[in-house]
Homo-oligomer: A and B are copies of this chain.
Amino acid sequence: MPESPIRKLVPYAEKAKASGKTVFHLNIGQPDIETPEVALNAIKNMDRQVIEYSHSAGFQSYREKLSAYYKSVNIDVAPDNILITTGGSEALTFGFMSTCDPEDEVIIPEPFYANYNGFAVAAGLNVVPVTANIENGFALPPVEEIEKKITSKTKAIVICNPGNPTGYLYSKEELEQLRDIVKKHDLFLFADEVYREFCYDGATPMSVMNLDGIDKNVIMIDSVSKRYSMCGARIGAIVSKNKEVMAAALKFGQARLSPPTIDQIASEAALSTPKSYFDAVVSEYVQRRNITVEGLNNIPGVFCPKPSGAFYCVAKFPVDSAEKFCQWLLEEFEYEGATVMMAPASGFYSSEGLGQQEARLAYVLNQDSLKKAVKCLEEALKVYPGRLN
């Protein structure tokens, strides 16, 4: 796997900090939101004397409560349709290995979460990108563009909804277009729905589990990481009504024995998080998004579509190369003692040469820091030597 453009920046960020600069980290999706108290308390009050393996599919009690949670968000799945994994990462890896053979192809709208490449490599698959466009906010590419990419080796289409890195929320119509393609060509449809709770302006996410007539084709990936600000718990799930896929996934689950025990206890408890927690989180993110996106669009030459979900946006900058601009921000620039770290979007495109002027910003800092970060970018663009008029 090639070095990612984000990781290339890490030494520059370290140098910047060592030199005394404040670095606003908009480059990663590690939220500063507190983990719900019910989850933290479950850990503190754990009364086990032996930290034993759980069932390879996860604790039954957790799967049952998770099924009830899904029903509460209008996704009708039974505990048997759920296998608890070590993070969403493992869920997608198991999903790929349970449905595809080495050398098979998976189609993914780009820009996409760069780690999908890693999971595909681990399963021996080839990623075939279909390009979405910043001009229309990264909507689903036209059906004919997707169908053009389908070959005899195509096994699946993978989406992230709401999306990382774009924040784009697919509409019912777009999901139904995907359903039709999947049905027509008998493909699997993977949907990474870990940002389900992060939808704004009254938008409601539609799960692929609610697409009619493709029960056996659909595999949903989930995780507690973002929902409960528990990225470090490494608890996810693979969800499908396809019994063969779930049986195969369980075999991979058995090979790795079990997902972490303590973290499942915390995740099970997290299901009792009060609605007020999410209301507060969503309201905070709406403000953060507005500060970031409106602030960016107010900078001459910058364009940033306003996303309806997740906590990322991708912006286009009037620069020669976003990779160089991001490095320069860390190496050469500071405004009032601070600078900004962003993720160059080239790392989210699989097609060579795309996204050269784009960067992803994760609006996971407090509002004051975000205001300062946007101001920083505004000042930086006034003096960046690689600026395009």
Contacts and interface: CB of A to CB of B under 8 A. Distances in A.
Given A50-B35, A86-B234, A232-B51, A122 B263 contact: no
A51 B1 contact: no
Nearest to A233: B51
Interface residues of A, number: 54
Contact of A256 (B51, B87, B232, B251): B87
Interface stretch (A38-46, A176-184, A317-325): A38-46
A259 interface: yes
A277 interface: no
Interface in A89-122: 89-90, 93, 97, 102, 115, 117-119, 121-122
Contacts of A31: 50
B51 A32 contact: no
Contacts of A40: 46, 48-49, 51
A89 B51 contact: no
A187 B196 CA distance: 47
A229 B48 CA distance: 12
Given A232-B262, A234-B260, A266-B262, A254 B49 contact: no
A42 to B, nearest CB: 11
A201 interface: no
Interface in A298-319: none
B35 A256 contact: no
As for how many copies of this chain the complex holds, the number is: 2
A252 interface: yes
B30 A53 contact: yes
A229 B50 contact: yes
Contacts of A53: 30, 231-232
A52 interface: yes
A44 B229 CA distance: 19
A115 B56 CA distance: 13
Among A124, A229, A263, chain B packs the most CB atoms within 10 A around the CB of: A263
Interface in A229-254: 229-234, 251-252, 254
A7 interface: yes
A262 B224 CA distance: 14
**Shortest 6 CB-CB contacts between residues of A and residues of B:** A118-B255, A232-B261, A89-B256, A51-B232, A234-B260, A51-B230
12 contacts: A31-B50, A35-B51, A43-B43, A44-B44, A51-B230, A86-B86, A86-B260, A89-B256, A97-B122, A115-B257, A117-B255, A234-B258
A6 to B, nearest CB: 10
A151 B277 CA distance: 60
A388 interface: no
A353 B87 CA distance: 38
A386 to B, nearest CB: 28
A173 to B, nearest CB: 33
Contacts of A50: 31-35, 229
B257 A231 contact: yes
A232 B52 contact: yes
A364 to B, nearest CB: 11
A367 interface: no
A273 interface: no
B255 A89 contact: yes
Contact of A46 (B43, B258, B259, B263): B43
A204 interface: no
A126 interface: no
A54 interface: yes
